[in-house]
Structure 1
Amino acid sequence: MLTSPLAHFPLRRLTASYRTGRPVATGFTVDGHILIVEETFDESTKKHILSIHQLKDDWRKTTTIERREIDFSLVDRFPDGRLILVASRCDDDVDGTWLPNAFIYDPQGNLLDSFCLDDGIQNMQIDEQGWIWVSYFDEGIYADAVTSSNGAFGLVAFDDTGVVQYKNRQYPIDDCYALNVCSSKEVWFFYYSDYRFIRINQEQDLVCEAPTIAYSQFARYDDYLLAANSDEAHLLRRKGTLFESIRSIRFVSEQEKSLSGDLTMRNDLIVLATSEHLYFGRLGQRLTSLVVAE
C-alpha cells in the first residue's frame, strides 16, 4: 500500500442511472457513452431478460434481449450502433473446439453473430474503427499457450467477425491487469509481471515503470493516470519513463459522502457503480484541484 497524501475526488450522480435489476456489466464506448447491463424477470413472458442501457448525461436508451445461459461480464458498442456482450470464460464443445463467448446484437436486440474470443478475458473495448481489443488474465494466457491460441499473447485485437487484426508479440504479459483503449491510435495497457504501463499504436511505444500494485482500472489525462483496484486508488504522474504516486484518492459524492462500489474507467472517464446508482467524473476536469493539493 502506498502512503501518498489523500485527496477527495467528487463524482456526480447520474439521474438516468437508476437500477432495478441484478448488475451484469458496465462499460464505456469510445465516444464516451456509458453502458450498463442488468438482469430482470419479465412478468409478461415469464422469462429472464437482459437490459442494455446506454447513458449520456440525462439521456437513456434501453435495448432488451433474452437472457442466455452465459455469464456475460463485458459490454461495448460498435460505431454503427451494434452492441456486443462478452463472457470472460468460455466452454469447449464435445469435439474440443471453443464455444462462442462474444455475441453481437443490433440496436433492437436481435442476435446478428456470435464467435469465440478465447478463454480468460480480463477486459474488452472497441475502438472507433470497430476493432475489438481484448486483454487476458493468467489462466487464459497460460492455458491457451499450450494450444498456441490467441489468449496466449495477452493482448489481441479482432475485427467484428472475430478475425485477428493484431497480436502482442513484444511484451511478456503474464496477466494483462488493465486496458484503456482511448482510440485506435492510443491503446494503453498495464501488465504483470513487469508492472508497466504501455502505450502502443503511435510512432513509438511508451513504456513506463509503475508501483507494484495490481491496478485493474485506470483513467488517463495528459501525463497523469488515476489507477485503482478494489482496495485503493492513486493519482500517478509521469516523469520520463516512470509513473509515481502523488495522491491517494478517495471518491466522494458532491455532498462529500464517501462512495464505494465497482469502478469502470476509459480514456479520462470514471464511473463508480453502487447498488442503486452510477456516479460519474472526468479526470481532466478534476486534475487541477487534485494536483494543487500537493
Structure 2
Amino acid sequence: MDTSNTLKIHLDRVTASQVTGKHVATGLTISGQIMMIEDIYDTKRRRNVLHVHRLHDQWRTTTIVAQAEIDFSYVDSFSDGRILLVASRCDDDVDGSWLPNAFIYDQAGHLLDSYCLDDGIQNVHVDEKNQIWVSYFDEGVFADSATTSIGSFGLAVFDEFGQVIFKNKDYPIDDCYALNVCGSDDAWFFYHPDYRVVHLQGERSTSYQVPTRHFSDFVVQGEYLISTDNEHTYLLQQEGDTYIEKARILFESEKGTPLQGTIKMRQNRIVLSTDTRLYAGTFTDFVPE
C-alpha cells in the first residue's frame, strides 16, 4: 500500500448525543438507529444506573436500567423496541454452569428475560427477524473446546429466547474479530487465523483474503471495504477473491477537526464515539476516486 495515499472522511456531529456520564457502549440497530449506554450516578437512588439512549435525527429517547453492576459491552434493539444488553464475559455459577450475560428490557427499563450467550463475546448484532448473531474471540473459542460450548464455533445465531439456531461449521475460526449483519440473509464476518472476510447469503458463503492486519469493525459497499481497529482505518478494494489496501483513512468533523475515538460500523454506517459526543456518516457519502 502507498502509505502516502491518505483519504479524509467527513462525519457529522450527531444531534442530542452529548455524553454527560461515563460512556459504556455504542451500537447500531438493523434499522439504522444509533444506541448508546451511559453510566450515570442517580442522586435519588443513590447509586449508579444505566441510561440507554436511542438516538433519532434531532432528539433521543432514554430508558433507565438499574442494573449498572453488570459490565455491559454491547447494546442493540429488537424490532418491537425491546432492548438487548450483553456483557462480553460471563461468570460460573456454583454448579459450574454459566450465569446470564444477555439481558432484555422493555422500553420502561423493566427486565423481561436473561440468559447466557456463552463466554468470550466479540460482537453482537440483532437482525430484522430478531435473531441474535454472536461472534467470539479466542478465549470464548478455546476455553471450553473439550465441551459442546457454543463459543467454540466462533460464530453462532440465537433466537430471541436465547436458543441457538445456527453454529458455524464451515470456517476454522480461532478468533472472529469483526461482524457486520446487514440482514438475516446478508451477513459478513472477519476471522483469524486465515485473515479472511466471509459473506453469508442464505445457504451460500463466499470468502475473500484480506491483508494480515487485525480489525474490529468494517463496512462493505460494492467493491470497496473500510476496516478499522480504532487506531488505524483503511480503504480496501476487491480484486478477484482478495481485498487490497488502497489508502489510509482519517476521520474529521464538519469543521475539519481530526476525530479519534471508538468506531462502530454496521451495514454502511459509521459511528465514532468521543468522550463528549458521537459523529456519524455512511459509506455512500464517500465515493473513492
Q: Does TM, normalized by the shorter one, top 0.5? A: yes
The residue number in structure 1 matching 2:11 is: 11
Matched residue of 2:135: which SS? Answer: strand
Identity %: 49
Deviation of 1:3 after TM superposition, in Å, equals: 2.5
The residue number in structure 2 matching 1:204 is: 204
1:259 aligned to 2:243?
no
Q: Distance in 1 between matches of 2:88 and 2:204?
A: 31
1:29 aligned to 2:32?
no
Q: Distance in 1 between matches of 2:68 and 2:19?
A: 21
Q: Distance in 1 between matches of 2:16 and 2:231?
A: 28
**AA paired with 2:40?**
T
* Structure 2: gaps of 5 or more residues: none
The residue number in structure 2 matching 1:176 is: 176
Q: Distance in 2 between matches of 1:73 and 1:207?
A: 28
Give the total of aligned pairs: 289
The residue number in structure 1 matching 2:158 is: 158
Closer, same or farther: CA 2–188 of 1 in aligned 2, 3 Å: farther
Structure 1 vs Structure 2 CA RMSD: 1.2
1:270 aligned to 2:270?
yes
Matched residue of 1:205: which SS? Answer: strand
Q: Distance in 2 between matches of 1:214 and 1:25?
A: 21
TM-score w.r.t. the length of structure 1 is: 0.96
Deviation of 1:4 after TM superposition, in Å, equals: 5.9
Q: Deviations over 1:85-139 (max 9, x none)?
A: 0000000011100000000001111000000000000000000000000000000
The residue number in structure 2 matching 1:221 is: 221
The residue number in structure 2 matching 1:49 is: 49
Contact 1:4–1:245 (8 Å) recurs in 2: no
**AA paired with 2:45?**
T
Deviation of 1:35 after TM superposition, in Å, equals: 0.4
Contact 1:11–1:253 (8 Å) recurs in 2: yes
Q: Distance in 2 between matches of 1:60 and 1:2?
A: 42
Q: Distance in 2 between matches of 1:31 and 1:69?
A: 29
- Write out the 4+ residue segments of structure 1 that deviate beyond 6 Å after TM superposition: none
Deviation of 1:203 after TM superposition, in Å, equals: 5.2
Q: Distance in 1 between matches of 2:51 and 2:269?
A: 23
**AA paired with 1:279?**
Y
The residue number in structure 2 matching 1:79 is: 79
